[in-house]
A and B are shown apart, each in its own frame.
Chain A
């Protein structure tokens, strides 16, 4: 995936982000750099602004102040339509739960981003099945998300996030509701798929064992990213 990218120039970078919900500040001048192809863990206590940072970086939330630039594009200057398109094509999103549509089959859930991109039903279905197989979800394509275990559902969510070949995957507590073995399967699958496809991952988690799948860790406290950035 590295076309003419300089490894020193981050793929996604944010400076001086502030964001408040009502009177509660969630971010107070947070900054972060995500390089192409790396897995970066954002850890910190609950309420430290991890999820809000992820939302700002993914263009889901517009920060009150500060800049987010992705591959030279300033997200604050983009209209909502372009942000949605970015999230559909260049970004993949995985949440703790809730990103699968309960009424759609597992296969259709994974195929949905492709359908939104204008791909035909048959092709999209086939591509979805391939990705499901890569994540070890086999023979369950016709089930609904409610019929899956938590770990399986998260692997389906990963397949949905990666099916469009995104350059950045945003994962917000992807193992938050899982036990340690299911977490391990999900994280191994995520790390492997990201490395194979060259996607960068921004991994928000409060769990050190999950964060250990990353190449690097930054910590958040009180809405800022602490200066500690120890590179592996």
Chain B
């Protein structure tokens, strides 16, 4: 970062000293920004700490997943790995594990994105205040980037601190590729976090009044999302292709197809969720006579993209989960029918169990993000909600509206995702059909139902918060 880089007229005005100041100014300014960032975080309420803590946790998860994937990617040929019941020994199965880990990154990133929303209104107001007080756009960006970046650094450091001993314990002499990968990931996560923190601020930075005047916002996924999805798909495919240079290249077509389908489905899911939210919102808002439905529907129609990231992750988990249950049933049938297995049964079931665990973990992360998102949406409008209750709107109605905000857009989307997952499972049934009649994996249909129920439960965890938020005490502070 050069001094005055992109700062323009404001920068020179703030850095009064001119050229003399410029030389050592950047280091001084960074120190000032750090102190400011620290002072602001320390003086702010608990929500800020929640955000920092959860962001760090998310960063730690992301670092862990990425580092494991990179290390596995560094392995060439056959090895005897003490973990994973021999699943990591062969390049082919290792590729599958890598893909699962990369897929697990999606909900983790979604979770980090959700964390960024905690206290966002408050934070934006605070930074807009800094702008009003004369901070340059770059300075505000740097402070915000420092806040997020430091939280991510903490998370990535913790994850690396665990990863290195584990690696040394398992792999006696890790190759250079593994070390490089570890370092790049450990450094990359905080940098990415800082960049994301700065980018998220573009509206506030644009005008000092920024979010102080609360405009109705229309956040929608831009080309960035598409680009990310494409990049992600490319990386995954490349990783698979690289590790697949083993003895059985042909056996990998299936996983690659599945992976591609999942990435496409994930990208489509974001749009699908936004679109269903908008559509259900509009349709219901125009017709319903139920106040709770009306409130939920208007909120959805007003900002259909608000929860799109989290909901898209829900859909992805549903697709993968439903598909997996189908594939698992078929595979077990095949394995049981097979007389001459290359490895013992554990080899295969461990793979399946690991995948199930990964999907379960993804579901948990997604549900947590959903709960955080719901709580955040409540916290930011607690004064308005208190006013509604004071005006006689029953808490019951507001609580139902809160649940409906999750339930309405997810119902059609999860149904569709479930059907998609069924298609994958059934497709796999046909692919592997070697004459013997295989049953359609109907049990997989329980997955979308279960996911839907879990989502409602996650949203419902905010109901006690609603009860606390609508205290009349909230009315006392205008």
A and B touch in the complex (CB under 8 A): yes
Interface residues of chain A, those whose CB is within 8 Å of chain B, are 21, 51-52, 55, 58, 60-61, 81, 84-89, 91-93, 95-99, 101-105, 108, 112-113, 115-116, 119-121, 124, 144, 146, 160-161, 176
| A99, B385: Cα distance in complex, Å | 8
Please list 28 pairs of residues, one from A and one from B, whose beta carbons are closer than 8 Å in the complex, sorted by A's number. Answer: A60-B390, A61-B472, A84-B389, A85-B392, A87-B390, A87-B391, A88-B394, A93-B391, A96-B478, A98-B383, A98-B478, A99-B387, A99-B390, A101-B295, A105-B298, A108-B285, A108-B294, A108-B298, A112-B294, A115-B290, A116-B394, A116-B397, A119-B289, A121-B287, A121-B288, A121-B289, A144-B302, A176-B478
Asked if residues B298 and A98 are in contact (CB atoms below 8 Å), the reply is no
- The answer to whether residues A98 and B384 also contact, given A58-B390, A87-B391 and a CB cut-off of 8 A, is yes
Q: What is the minimal beta-carbon distance from A112 to any residue of chain B, in angstroms?
A: 6
Q: What is the minimal beta-carbon distance from B82 to any residue of chain A, in angstroms?
A: 56
Given contacts A96-B478, A112-B393, A161-B391, could you give 12 more A-B pairs where the C-beta distance is less than 8 Å?
A21-B476, A60-B475, A88-B391, A88-B392, A91-B392, A92-B391, A93-B391, A101-B295, A102-B384, A115-B290, A119-B289, A144-B302
Contacts of B436 in A (CB 8 A): none
| A161, B285: Cα distance in complex, Å | 22
CB contact between B214 and one of A99, A113, A124, A146 (< 8 Å): that residue: A146
Among B216, B391, B393, residue most surrounded by chain A Cβ atoms (within 10 Å): B391
CB contact between B473 and one of A21, A113, A160 (< 8 Å): that residue: A21
CB contact between A103 and one of B298, B387, B397 (< 8 Å): that residue: B298
Among B302, B389, B475, B476, residue most surrounded by chain A Cβ atoms (within 10 Å): B475
Asked if residues A60 and B294 are in contact (CB atoms below 8 Å), the reply is no
- Closest A residue to B286 by beta carbon equals A121
How many residues on chain B are close to A (CB under 8 Å)? 31
What mask results when residues 456 to 478 of chain B are scored 1 for a CB within 8 Å of chain A, else 0? Answer: 00000000000000001101101
Contacts of A81 in B (CB 8 A): 394
- Closest B residue to A81 by beta carbon equals B394
What mask results when residues 361 to 394 of chain B are scored 1 for a CB within 8 Å of chain A, else 0? Answer: 0000000000000000000000110011111111
Interface residues of chain B, those whose CB is within 8 Å of chain A, are 214-216, 285, 287-291, 294-295, 298-299, 301-302, 383-384, 387-394, 397, 472-473, 475-476, 478
Asked if residues B298 and A99 are in contact (CB atoms below 8 Å), the reply is no
Asked if residues A115 and B475 are in contact (CB atoms below 8 Å), the reply is no
CB contact between A115 and one of B216, B287, B291, B478 (< 8 Å): that residue: B291
Contacts of A99 in B (CB 8 A): 387-388, 390-391
Asked if residues B384 and A113 are in contact (CB atoms below 8 Å), the reply is no
Asked if residues A51 and B392 are in contact (CB atoms below 8 Å), the reply is no
Asked if residues A84 and B394 are in contact (CB atoms below 8 Å), the reply is yes
Among B216, B291, B393, B476, residue most surrounded by chain A Cβ atoms (within 10 Å): B291
Asked if residues B299 and A51 are in contact (CB atoms below 8 Å), the reply is no
Asked if residues B475 and A55 are in contact (CB atoms below 8 Å), the reply is yes
Contacts of A52 in B (CB 8 A): 476
| A39, B387: Cα distance in complex, Å | 23
| A176, B215: Cα distance in complex, Å | 22
Asked if residues A104 and B294 are in contact (CB atoms below 8 Å), the reply is yes
| A21, B473: Cα distance in complex, Å | 8
